[in-house]
Amino acid sequence: MRVVTTQNTAHPVLIFWIIAGWIGFCLLPWYGVEDFWTFEWLVDGWPFDDDHAPAAVLLGMGQKLWLAPLIPPLILPLFALGRPKSDPMHGALLIVAGAFGLAWLVAQGFGIGLRGFTFDWLTAMFGELDDRQFGMGYGAMITASAFLFLFTQGIAARGAVNGDVFVVGAIGFVIAIVTAFVFFPIAKMLFAAFVTEEGGYSSQVFLSKFLNDRLWGLGCLSGARCGAAWNSLFLAIAVGFATTILGLAFALVVTRSGFRYKRALRALTVLPIITPPFVIGLALILLFGLSGSVTVFFADLLGIRPTRWLYGFTGIFIAQVLAFTPIAFLVLIGVVEGVSPSMEEAAQTLRANRWQTFRTVSLPLMRPGLANAFLLGFIESMADFGNPLVLGGNFDVLSTEIFFAIVGAQYDQGRAAVLAMVLLFFTLSAFYAQRMWLGKKSYTTVTGKGDAGVHPLMPKGLAIPVLVTALTWALFTIVVYVMIVYGSVVELWGVNNSLTLKHYVTAFRVQMGEDGIRWTGAAWDSFWTTIIIAAVAAPLTAAVGLVTAYLLTRQSFAGKNAFEFGTMLSFAIPGTVIGVSYILAFNVPPIEITGTGIILVVSFIFRNMPVGVRAGIASMSQLDRSLDESSLTLGANSWQTFRRVILPLLRPAILAALVYSFVRAMTAISAVIFLVSAEYDMATSYIIGRVENNDYGLAIAYSTALIFVMLAAVGLLQLLVGRVQIGRRTQHGTETTT
Amino acid sequence: MKKVTTALAGSLVALAASAGASQALTLYCSAQEEWCQIMARSFEEATGIDVDMTRKSSGETFAQVKAEEANPKGDVWWGGTGDPHLQAAEEGLTEEYVSPMREQLHDWSIAQAESAGNQTIGIYSGALGYGYNNDLLAANNLPEPACWKDLLKPEYKGHIQMANPNSSGTAYTTLATMVQMFGEEEGFQYMKDLHANINQYTKSGSAPIKAAGLGETTVGIVFMHDAVAQVEAGFPITVVAPCEGTGYEIGSMSIIKGARNMDEAKQFYDWALSAEAQNLALEVDAFQVPSNKGAQTSDKAPDLSSIKLIDYDFTKYGSSDERKRLLQKWDEEVSTLPQ
């Protein structure tokens, strides 16, 4: 009986989206004229006021007639309701309705803008349009989503991905948002590479900017300077290797050594990513610069002149390794923990010694982690902008060149676009190199079977160098951070070293007034905005990232490779380019969100999502598919499987994604500079303003405060997410919960 | 009723209509944070108009105004060096406006405005110069420099920092100043000789003097008011007005074309040119010279009357063609030389 009912009555999800489409069209304000979160429209003349009217009412009043073709695709799915899923017409109806509705929505959105027709040929064809439209509001958004999901349900009904509604819907959703918020703005920006001075398009322009000596010069082989492209590439490879090795060393110390202060070490590795930009650079200058304490000390000791040795490749390398090792660690820790002890025990039973076990079993199983860690280090180094700016000396890299092509004295967005393309090309190459190296081997180690082993300790010959490396680096990190805290409590760092708390008072003063607490400190406004935006962005980022990772590892569909690269795109492009491309794309309808908090949240989601994707992929490729299959066999659908089986096993990846996106939302700078507005100012842009004003004390005090806030947040997240319970014995031999 | 207002707003989004009764102004500010804050708050007090102020560097603001061209979000752009303002005028991103306050202004301010078709106007000026770190100069037994030509002496090798003219308006002003002061041939020869002594071309214009403050370079070539700010912040810096004379920048203000609050923008524009508004600079340690004849200059600021200022040709050297030509020449002839 039950089987028959599911066959004949429509899927509740289908009904839901049909209703949503109609609500979006008939009830909610079609255009978004005011801030997204204000609900003034409810009392301000809705539903008949022009600004807040739903599409149906507008049509009824004889306005915005180009919305009328949306009605048939809204009606069409109703006919699908009556048909069983097995009827080919069911799927066909939904596909046609969804595809046409979505296409028309997009076409009219781009075709008709704030000043009538956006394209000259439309005006030529239909004459001057005496009307205009604003950006999409709630109504348009919900109707668009409804069309999208009707379309994906149609495809699922036709049997794509085994007719799995959740998977097809998720794929459609991720493709749609990545297209809208990654491909679209970046494409818009990159077109500038072909624009001539007269405003036309020409590949000549591209070539002349591309074949430039400042980009590809090989002077460094003969003592002069190399082009920015080679510099960036060389630096990124070096940083990628160094961070991966250091990250692995830390992960091994934490999971496979008898080292006593593991927890402290673990906390320490998180410090650099929660540090706002420029702070590390400044600390390094005060330690190792021309007048830095360490440089001066050694110069006196050896009786030589202090030099500017820090500036250039060396300085950027040190700062980037310091800053990006934690990311490698976050990716690797999950993978190193996930390697099944049973396999290692099996190797040992077969008389392999510890070193052999490590080299032939453990290390190869960590390859997905190593590859992903390297890729992230490489990309981060390529896109990093703050460290090269402060420590670069005359060592030009792509990211700074791009920034100054846009905001510098050249005013050459075309050059920025060309440089961005070169950078993207390197990233793409690294991405494919990583895939080649991983090959098609299986790295599955977490199966559903009993797996109650204990990780063997590292072999001695390895343990000592690993421990020494990790501890030296940890010590270095501690010194840098002690310097930073010290810098926040002195009058003027490097000049007047008397202790004071005045910087904290200026930034975070709280006064008790008659009307309660008054937050009179200079930093509070940007502080609260930053916290709220970061708190909103982090869970969304993690969710989008992990769902994407799930699709990429667990499902196969056409265009998967391109899809995977697309998700990495926004991460690989320097923030400056993202910032400008977001203004270019989202300052005009159909999606008009500049000046709002939404654009900040959106930019953070798509900029930081790749870390969630990478961490998710690395962890998920360790989980045996038999886990999914047994869940599916027992009658769960793919959503339930994802939610109940995969997700709990992914806790380290979830934590990594959450922590990373929260923290990056609080410390990102280059994209944010273009997207902040008076109402939504962010901490980092405030800090940079202080630095420009020589207010180092206040800037460092604010940064230090942010570091503590983030530490607290990371701890809290760790508690909330909880630890993964793979059901292994602990090192002491007691059972953990299974 | 509201329909009328919306229609009046022409091609602009109806945000203004919903803001309706209370007047508002969106200010893009490219001066230092305190100065921006005090300008915004004082204008609010003086007129009751709400000011939404965003501070960004002048290059960033230019990039933003350009990106927002199709649907401008800002009304007035106040502060920041003149070059990006002139560039914006050339690209038609800013609105022509002749303020009734004009007669109170110095000639250099009006001259700059006229050269840009009245699309921008000078609000302050600052002369180019350099500063050195007293401690480092003594530690290296270097003589105290006083002229531009002093910096060419071989003993300063590796001690001088300036910004890269490709990325910084300050450094471009330096290049253009040398070309105007010594003639193109000799000016470029100067830049080539100077190149031998440079330890780093920084990206941002004020970075050299900040590095000097922290003891990372001995000499930094910057606008003198930036060097004075370092002294005031407590760093061991001496400011030098070069003996041969020097060029200068004009910090400018423009109304953005298609501003949503055009009336308020003009109101701000007039107010910002008044002596009263320009005197606010004294309260926030800004050491530039104001453009209103009646406004006071900080006594710590470099005294422009005692500095030999060259007759800087903003029309010629502010145009994008001339800039591209000079920068390309610098790129090819100077930056490629061995150091």
Residue A445 has pLDDT above 60, yes or no: yes
| Residues B54-79 pLDDT 10s | 888 888 888 889 888 888 889 999 99
Asked if the C-beta of B67 comes within 8 angstroms of chain A's C-beta atoms, the answer is yes
Long-range contacts of A629-636 (CB under 8 A, 24+ apart): A630/A448
Asked if A689's CB is within 8 angstroms of B55's CB, the reply is: yes
Q: What is the DSSP letter of B202?
A: E
**Taking the CB of residue A243, how many other CB atoms lie within 10 A of it?**
28
Tell whether B57 is within 8 A of chain A (Cβ).
Answer: yes
Query: pLDDT class for B260, splitting at 50, 70, 90?
Result: confident
pLDDT range class, residue A197, cuts 50, 70, 90: low
C-alpha triplet A465, A469, A473: angle, nearest 5°: 170
Digit-coded pLDDT (tens) for B182-208: 999 999 999 999 999 999 888 788 889
Q: How many CA atoms lie within 13 A of B228 on its CB side?
A: 19
Q: Does position A513 have pLDDT exceeding 80, yes or no?
A: no
Range A527-695 has CATH code 1.10.3720.10: yes
Inter-residue long-range contacts of A489-495, CB under 8 Å, 24+ positions, other chains counted: A489/A701, A490/A697, A491/A697, A491/B234, A492/A696, A492/A697, A492/B233, A492/B234, A492/B235, A493/A282, A493/A286, A493/A696, A493/A697, A493/A700, A494/A286, A494/A291, A494/B214, A494/B215, A495/B213, A495/B234, A495/B235, A495/B236
How near does any CA of chain A get to the CA of B221, in Å?
16
pLDDT at B100: 92
pLDDT over 90 for what percent of chain B? Answer: 50
Q: Is A521 on the interface with B (CB under 8 A)?
A: no
Burial A261-288 (b: 16+ CB within 10 A, else e): eeeebbebbbbbbbbbbbbbbbbbbbbb
Could you give the count of Cα atoms lying within 13 Å of B304 in the half-sphere of its Cβ?
Answer: 23
Say how many C-beta atoms besides its own lie within 10 A of residue A571's C-beta. 23
Residue among B3, B52, B158 whose CB faces A678 most closely: B52
Residues of A in contact with B54 (CB under 8 A): 676-678, 681
pLDDT at B6 over 50: no
pLDDT of residue B94: 94
Query: For residue B228, what is the nearest residue in chain A, using CA coordinates?
Result: A694
In chain B, residues with a C-beta closer than 8 Å to the C-beta of A409 are 59, 83, 165-169, 171-172, 323, 327
Range A213-222 average pLDDT: 72
Instruction: Please give the pLDDT value at position B212.
Output: 92
* A229-243 mean pLDDT: 93
Residue B215 has pLDDT above 80, yes or no: yes
Q: Distance (Å, rounded) from C-alpha A186 to C-alpha A607?
A: 12
Taking residues A645-659, report their average pLDDT: 81
| Shortest Cα distance, chain A CAs vs residue B195, angstroms | 12
Q: Does B14 touch chain A (CB under 8 A)?
A: yes
Mutate to test the interface with A, among B50, B60, B77 (most CBs of A within 10 A): B60
In chain B, which residues fall in CATH 3.40.190.10? 2-125+249-302, 127-248+319-334
Is A693 touching B (CB cutoff 8 A)? yes
Are A678 and B26 an interchain contact pair (Cβ–Cβ within 8 Å)? yes
Report the mean per-residue pLDDT for chain B: 87
> In the predicted model, is pLDDT for residue B16 greater than 70?
no
- Domains of chain A, by residue range, sit at 2-158, 527-695
Please state, for a pLDDT cut of 70, what percent of chain A lies above it: 91
Taking CB atoms within 8 Å and a gap of at least 24, the contacts of B296-299 are none
Task: Output the six-digit token pair for A388.
Answer: 């090269």
- Report helix, strand or coil for A273: helix
B143 has pLDDT over 90: yes
pLDDT for position B5:
39
More confident position, A484 or B97:
B97
Q: What is the rounded average pLDDT of the residues A34-43?
A: 65
pLDDT tens-digit series, residues A576-629: 778 888 888 888 777 888 778 888 899 888 888 887 887 788 788 778 888 888
The yes-or-no verdict on residue B8 having pLDDT over 50 is no
Q: Which of B6, B70, B217 sits opposite A587 (nearest CB)?
A: B70
What is the architecture of the domain spanning B127-248+319-334? 3-Layer(aba) Sandwich (3.40)
Window A:395-424, CB contacts with B under 8 Å: 400, 403-404, 406-411, 413
* A493-502, A580-589, A594-603, B146-155: which is most confident: B146-155
For an interface test with B, give the residue of A220, A694, A695 to mutate (most B CBs within 10 A).
Answer: A694
Does A293 have pLDDT greater than 50? yes
Nearest CA in chain B to A413: B63
Q: What interhelical angle do A651-667 and A313-338 show, nearest 10?
A: 150
Q: Regarding beta strands A116-117 and B248-256, do their DSSP bridges make them parallel or antiparallel, or are they unpaired? A: unpaired
With an 8 Å Cβ cutoff, are B216 and A285 in contact?
Answer: yes
pLDDT band at residue A7 under the 50/70/90 scheme: very low
Q: In the prediction, which pLDDT does A732 show?
A: 43
Give the pLDDT score at A224. 66
Q: Round to the nearest angstrom and report the end-to-end CA distance of chain A.
A: 38
More confident of the two residues A551 and B130: B130
Residue type (1 letter), A143: T
Q: Which pLDDT does position B2 carry in this prediction?
A: 41
pLDDT of amino acid A24: 87
Note which residues in 193-232 of chain B have CB less than 8 A from chain A: 199-201, 203-204, 206, 210, 213-217, 229-230
* Peptide bond between residue A590 and the one before it cis (omega within 30 degrees of 0): yes
Q: Check whether B15 has a pLDDT greater than 50.
A: no
Asked if residues B23 and B50 have their Cβ atoms less than 8 Å apart, the reply is yes
Establish if B336 touches chain A: CB-CB under 8 angstroms. Answer: yes
B26 has a chain A CB within 8 A of its CB: yes
pLDDT of residue B18: 40
- Fill in the amino acid letter for A412: D
Compare all CA atoms of chain B with the CA of A690 and give the residue at the minimum distance: B33
Q: How far is B63 from chain A (nearest CA, A)?
A: 6
**pLDDT score, position A448:** 58
Give residue B138's pLDDT. 92
| B186 Cα to chain A: minimum distance (Å) | 23
Mean pLDDT of B79-101: 91
Band of the pLDDT at A727, cuts 50, 70, 90? low
Identify residue A738 by its one-letter amino acid code. Answer: T
Q: Domain B2-125+249-302: state its class.
A: alpha beta
Using the Cα atoms of residue A116, residue A117, residue A118 and residue A123 in order, give the sign of their dihedral.
Answer: negative
pLDDT at A736 over 60: no
Query: How far off is chain B from A646, nearest CA to CA, in Å?
Result: 43
Q: Is the dihedral of CA A585, A406, B51, B91 positive or negative?
A: negative
Task: Please state, rounded to an integer, the average pLDDT across all residues of chain A.
Answer: 80
Q: Which residue has the higher pLDDT, A1 or A117?
A: A117
pLDDT exceeds cutoff 60 at A4: no
A692 touches chain B (CB under 8 A): yes
* Cα–Cα dist A693/B282, whole Å: 16
Cβ separation of B217 and A588 shorter than 8 Å?
no
pLDDT in tens, A50-100: 777 888 888 888 788 888 888 888 888 888 887 777 788 888 888 888 999
